[in-house]
């Protein structure tokens, strides 16, 4: 049975993606830095299928990323899909952003995708197939005030996607990015007033997850492609 890892899957886009992949018959590994969120996600997925693994981990840490992938392969025998979704955001002008906040944003949003892809790729190369979907953002193509750290991390995600796509171009592995606009998730809590004023026009986590799953299963989505939604 094919297996997927979805990072940042304790809630929001990640959890919805994991649930939809389970409904499509995939075994799924979910992870979050918050154990209670992992446990809830696992419980929901178990109602669909037994093939689920939950881990509390920080995928911005190399050791944790290694353990996540190793546990997934040990449990399911392969990693066929990786969705790099983990992420955080802060709303601050650059001059007010601390080094710690910058590093946390880069580690969660970008370094995590580097680490997980680095560990997953040897398995995909050995089996000569696989799909990696990096969750970037509209903020990965246009800069926005007070979001310099977030935008920089998501622009970086686009560069990572395109570079890695070239590296696997001679294989049957596809590496792609999805770039959602505003999504009605807990991340919007960084600006409650904006969230209240614009919630009605925002995408739902389920809508983004549906597109991610479509990209995974539909070969019309090509290696190196970025998809706006």
Backbone angles phi, psi at 4, to 5 degrees: -130, 145
Residues with catalytic roles = 150
């Amino acid at each position: 049975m094919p297996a997927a890892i979805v990072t940042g899957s304790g809630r929001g886009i990640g959890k919805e993606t994991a649930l939809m992949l389970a409904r499509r018959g995939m075994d799924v590994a979910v992870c979050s830095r918050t154990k209670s969120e992992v446990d809830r996600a696992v419980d929901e997925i178990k109602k669909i299928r037994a093939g689920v693994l939950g881990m509390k981990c920080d995928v911005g840490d190399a050791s944790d990323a290694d353990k996540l992938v190793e546990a997934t392969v040990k449990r399911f025998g392969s990693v066929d899909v990786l969705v790099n979704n983990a992420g955080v955001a802060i709303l601050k002008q650059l001059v007010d952003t601390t080094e710690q906040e910058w590093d946390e944003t880069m580690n969660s949003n970008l370094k995590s995708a580097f680490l997980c892809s680095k560990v997953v790729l040897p398995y995909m190369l050995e089996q000569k197939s696989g799909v990696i979907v990096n969750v970037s953002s509209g903020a990965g193509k246009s800069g926005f005030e007070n979001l310099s750290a977030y935008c920089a991390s998501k622009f970086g995600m686009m560069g990572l996607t395109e570079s890695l796509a070239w590296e696997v171009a001679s294989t049957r592995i596809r590496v792609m990015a999805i770039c959602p606009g505003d999504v009605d998730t807990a991340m919007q809590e960084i600006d409650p007033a904006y969230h209240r004023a614009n919630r009605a026009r925002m995408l739902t986590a389920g809508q983004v997850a549906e597109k991610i799953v479509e990209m995974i299963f539909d070969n019309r989505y090509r290696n190196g492609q970025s998809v706006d939604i």
